[in-house]
Structure 1
Amino acid sequence: MHTIDLTYVGLGIHEELVAYVADQENYYEQEGVHVALRDGCDWDGERVRRTATIGLGRAVLSRVTDGIPWTALCVNTERPLFWLLARDAYASVEGLRGGRIGIHPPRTAPGCFARIVLRRHGLDPDHDVQPVVMKPGDYGRHIRRLAEGSLDAAFVGSTLAPEVTAQENGLRLLAFVGDHFRIPTTGIAVDTTHTAPDDPAVVALVRANRRALRTVRDEPDLAVRYVNALIPSLSETEARRHYERYVAPYFTADGRHDPSVAAQAVASVAEELGVSTVPDAADIYRTEPTEG
């Protein structure tokens, strides 16, 4: 049996769901690969490079800024699962002008995406709002600061369900990042400096990932159960609504991506990061499936 390390670089169903399904349904073993799922949230880039990674967003940023030859072989979704929550006094993103916004660091994938979304609503993230850079996690600190009023809004990730969190804490959901910025952002990628895309372990990993994607799409009751396992604070009904709103419509069934979406996204990321030489998205994302 082949072996490979697979690293997630963020928490929540955005990064974890598909790998969790593949593991729990025993797809890795059935495809002939032993996968060591590694928590790389606090790893530096060099350590992540020696593994396969789920975090395509982080990989793309390092490709754009540092030329590291990450290659994405399978895409889970083109809709980043991040949301902008605000105190109830704010009715729109545009209304946050001058407000204090909790946001991921600007040169991380979710931070970069959030800044792009703010700009698309006419807000310069450095001048029109007061950015409060906060480390991601379970986002409990973000919610507490919104409740106490030291933040006016905050970008949060998929360790929570935004509608439920908003209702429980008297907040307002202002935006789903995936509605305003699309980029192939989770899946399977390898740094070709260290790992060949046609390595048998990689090919088996991609096959298992695609099987998990089909399961997420074709077996909603099972997928809802796994969503609920990853966000246990939800009721079964809430988990089903979350799946139906953010997973079922947007997760791919076969790991393929839209090349036009990828090209536009890479250009937007390069512009936000101030990089003048934009890599070809077709060199980052493989359109055709890897064959085993």
Structure 2
Amino acid sequence: MLSIDLTYVGSGIHEELIAHVADQEGYFEDEGVHVALRDGAVWPTERVRGGATIGLGRALLSRMTNGIPWTVLAANTHRPLFWFLARGDIKSMDDLRGRRLAVHGARTAPGCFARIVLRKHGLDPDHDVQCVERIPADYQMDLRRLRDGSIDAAYVGSTLAPEQIAAEEGLTLLSWVGDHFQIPTVGIAVDRSRIALDDPALQAVVRANKRALRTIAEQPRVAVKHIASLLNRLTMEEAQQHYERYVRPWFTGDGKVNPEAVREGVAAVAAELGVSAADADQMYLPAL
């Protein structure tokens, strides 16, 4: 049997859902490939390069800043699953001025996306907001710090369902990144200097990934079942609502990238990082 490492670099359904469906529904097995799903959230990029990766955002940033020849073979969604949640009297993004926001580092993909969205709301992340940097996690500490008042808002990912958490914790959901910024953020990518694009194990993973995408598009009950298993604080009704709001309309059915989202997203990331976009958009060619 073929084998390959497949690394997710951020926990939650954003990174994990499609691989989870492919694994649980037996699609990897059908393709004759053993896939070792690895949590690389705190791994250095050098270690992530050893296998295929789900994290296209991190791949893009390391291609732009370090010249790593990442190549995308499939894209799962162009809508990053990150949200701004706030406590107390903060009811809009403008209310974040002068407040303490827990957020990923500026040179990480989620942090870069957060800064782009803050700027779209007229906020300078270096001067208008007090950014409290933290590493990716399941955001439970953010909830604790929101409760005790040590932070005013948090930028959270898809280990949480934002509407459900906001209702339970008395928080306000300020904004979803996917409403304001699009770029292929998760899928299948490899460093082609380490793994050939025609590698049989890699191609098997890509086929399984695309089959899982078709499943969540065409079989809502299966998709909701898996969302509920990953977000196990949700009822089935809440999982259905989460699917209808954030997954069904925005996850691709075929793994292809949207050229317009690539052009605009890459340009926005390059501008935020202060680097040249150069040929970064070429990394998506196999997924066109």
Query: How far 1:29 moved relative to its partner?
Result: 1.3
1:260 alignment partner AA: E
Matched, 1:179 2:179: yes
TM-score by length of 2: 0.98
2:243 alignment partner AA: Y
Distance 1:120 1:287 in 2: 31
Tell me the secondary structure at the aligned position of residue 7 of structure 1.
Answer: strand
1:47 alignment partner AA: R
Aligned pair count reads: 288
Query: How far 1:287 moved relative to its partner?
Result: 4.9
Which piece of structure 1 moves more, 89-98 or 18-27? 89-98
* Aligned residue number for residue 122 of structure 1: 122
1:62-73 equivalences in 2 (<5 Å): 62-73=62-73
Query: How far 1:136 moved relative to its partner?
Result: 2.1
TM-score by length of 1: 0.96
* Aligned residue number for residue 82 of structure 2: 82
Q: Which runs of 4+ in 1 moved over 2 A?
A: 279-282, 286-289
* Aligned residue number for residue 240 of structure 2: 240
* Aligned residue number for residue 279 of structure 2: 280
Query: How far 1:288 moved relative to its partner?
Result: 4.7
Structure 1: unaligned runs, 5 residues or longer: none
Query: How far 1:88 moved relative to its partner?
Result: 3.7
Tell me the secondary structure at the aligned position of residue 285 of structure 1.
Answer: helix
Cα distance change, pair 141–280 in 1 and its aligned pair in 2 (3 A): same
Which piece of structure 1 moves more, 195-204 or 159-168? 195-204
Q: Is the 8 A contact 1:19 1:212 kept in 2?
A: yes
Q: Percent identity?
A: 62
CA deviations over 1:114-155 (Å, ceiling 9, x no partner): 011001111110101100001221111111111222111110
Distance 1:184 1:243 in 2: 19
Tell me the secondary structure at the aligned position of residue 255 of structure 1.
Answer: coil
1:125-144 equivalences in 2 (<5 Å): 125-144=125-144
* Aligned residue number for residue 255 of structure 1: 255
Q: Is the 8 A contact 2:41 2:136 kept in 1?
A: no
Query: How far 1:2 moved relative to its partner?
Result: 1.6
Tell me the secondary structure at the aligned position of residue 137 of structure 1.
Answer: coil
Query: How far 1:281 moved relative to its partner?
Result: 4.2
CA deviations over 1:33-86 (Å, ceiling 9, x no partner): 111111111211111001100000100010111110000110000000000001
1:132-171 equivalences in 2 (<5 Å): 132-171=132-171
Distance 2:146 2:181 in 1: 24
